[in-house]
Amino acid sequence: MRSLTRPGLARSASYQFKNVTVALARNMSTEAVATSPGSAVCHLPTSMPASAAPNPSLSGTVVKVQKGNMPPGFRATVGNFDTFELPQHVTGCAGDVAMGRAIIQAWRRDGILQFTMTPEQKRLRDAAFSASKRFFKLPYQEKARCVDDQSYAGYIASGEEITDGVADYSEIFTVTKDLPLEDQRVQAGWPCHGPCPWPTRIGMKNAMKAYMDELARCGEVLLGLTEAGLGLEPGALTKYTADGWHHSRVLRFPARHQTNGKGKEGRGIGSHTDYGLLVISAQDNVGGLFVRPPYQGEDYANWKSSAAGMKENDEGWVYVPPQDDCFTVILGDMMQYLTNSFLKSTPHKVGLNNAERYTIAYFHEPNFQAVVKPIEDFSNGDQSVSFHEDAEQDNGVHYGTHFTNMFMRNYPDRITTKRLIEENRYPLLATKELCTMDANRVEEL
């Protein structure tokens, strides 16, 4: 097996560190477990990685897992990720800073972390998964009617989604912002804006709405902790998520065919990165997800050129074992761009297993109109990072354009893509109106 070096907190060539005190990523600073003085409400990771107990995800051991767990035909390290218990609110207390730093270290080391579900979150998750199962059991004709020609929301049949030119066998219901036809943005023909074509009778709309509202709250908490961990002003990240383009993919993966869950006839989802800030997922107990931790020398910028298909068949993937009552959180392209790759968008892929698999991925995103700009100065514990001298001299990334590009590429034959092209809507993305969030919400755009 090719040996892969992990960056830990090592500087990348384009970073300029001030006060370089580089701690080993694995050697968690004591600050990370320090409680806030006099605070009873501070919250700490439920399982902090102890430096004495190496995280197996880093051991480099290749493990063959028994049937019914890791999809057959795959070789990967089995992950054992840091698990956090999130606070209800972020106040900026010492505990928030400590947890923010621990969260950042986990993402920089593993590309993924977990947080535990509250009883209420378990209830919402169960209701959403039940609705998902009711939906996918509907007759094909009924599911196929759940399509909209202006938004990308609705049903995606198995084999319809294309990643890196190859069909994926996931069956999906996408939920995007459910905008009525009278909405001004829909009237104006803004790309991707339109209703969500919910199925009738099966209670999916209410279940998904309640689930996504709760994850939107968690997404804001995670961004708040990330701000605290990076030493940023409150709002440095969350200013982008006002009326964020949050969406979800409700997924069902069929059981594999004879092709070992790989290749044209049996791939779950090919390797890719997702587009926005955070992806918060819940999976059932079947297993199929793999993530690729940040490796030195592996640099992708999916907003510039597609990262789909990268390293798909290489060594170095980490299996994400189903973990009872935990959400996983990976990072998206906009988080990478904002932090100048200090936090990288997490490559991941899905293999088909012996049994069908259900999962729901929630995407916590910037506002569709947001133009995201890299943050010039931040810190991570003792380590300060500045991009003043190296900052890319570009005009930022327009999130709505990135989202539209991704969906047009993944669904080239969908009615939504055809209408977008026929009505020449794409150039609207470059107009001032579509590239500027409300000035009260995001300054300096």
**What does each C-alpha distance from 338 to 199, 232, 358, 378, 396 come to in angstroms?**
37, 12, 31, 11, 9
Stretch of 54-62, 180-188, 271-279, 283-291 contacting Fe ion, by CB under 5 A: 271-279
Exposed e or buried b for every residue in 161-173, given b needs 16+ CB within 10 A?
A: bbbbeeebbbbbb
Residues 252-311 that bind ligand AKG (CB under 6 A): 269, 274, 281, 283, 289
| Distance from chain centroid for Cα 232 | 21
Measure the CA dihedral 221/284/155/248, to 10°.
0
Which listed option, Fe ion, ligand AKG, none, makes contact with residue 283 (CB within 5 to 8 Å by class)? ligand AKG
Answer for which of 108, 109, 249, 252 binds ligand AKG (CB under 6 A) is: 249
Residue with tokens 């209800």: 88
Supply the minimum distance, in Å, between the C-beta of residue 269 and Fe ion.
6
Which listed option, ligand AKG, Fe ion, none, makes contact with residue 249 (CB within 5 to 8 Å by class)? ligand AKG
* Residue with Cβ nearer Fe ion (58 or 289): 289
* Residue with Cβ nearer ligand AKG (105 or 346): 346
Stretch of 192-200, 238-246, 268-276, 375-383 contacting Fe ion, by CB under 5 A: 268-276
Q: How far apart are CA 387 and CA 229, in angstroms?
A: 18
Which listed option, ligand AKG, Fe ion, none, makes contact with residue 289 (CB within 5 to 8 Å by class)? ligand AKG
Answer for which of 43, 125, 247, 348 binds ligand AKG (CB under 6 A) is: 348
Burial-class residue 301 by CB neighbours within 10 Å (0-12, 13-18, 19+): middle
- Helix, strand, coil shares of the chain, percent, nearest 5, are 25, 20, 55
Answer for which of 161, 274, 312, 365 binds Fe ion (CB under 5 A) is: 274
The candidate with the shortest Cα–Cα distance to 190, out of 362, 403, 365, 363, is 403
Which listed option, Fe ion, ligand AKG, none, makes contact with residue 146 (CB within 5 to 8 Å by class)? none
* Residue with Cβ nearer ligand AKG (156 or 372): 156
Supply the minimum distance, in Å, between the C-beta of residue 332 and Fe ion.
9
Q: How far apart are CA 318 and CA 353, in angstroms?
A: 16
358 close to 281: Cβ distance less than 8 angstroms: no
Supply the minimum distance, in Å, between the C-beta of residue 363 and ligand AKG.
8
Answer for which of 42, 361, 397, 442 binds ligand AKG (CB under 6 A) is: 361
* Residue with Cβ nearer Fe ion (143 or 247): 247
Size of the site for ligand AKG (CB under 6 A): 11
**What does each C-alpha distance from 210 to 92, 128, 129, 252 come to in angstroms?**
27, 8, 12, 20
* Residue with Cβ nearer ligand AKG (269 or 372): 269
Supply the minimum distance, in Å, between the C-beta of residue 12 and Fe ion.
24
Report the alpha-carbon angle 53-57-62, nearest 5: 115
Answer for which of 241, 339, 359, 410 binds ligand AKG (CB under 6 A) is: 359
Residue with tokens 């169960």: 126
- 358 strand-pairing partners: 252
Question: CA neighbours within 13 Å on the CB side: how many for 5?
Answer: 5
* Residue with Cβ nearer ligand AKG (281 or 367): 281
Sites of contact with Fe ion (CB under 5 A): 274
Where do contacts with ligand AKG occur on this chain (CB under 6 A)?
249, 251, 269, 274, 281, 283, 289, 348, 350, 359, 361
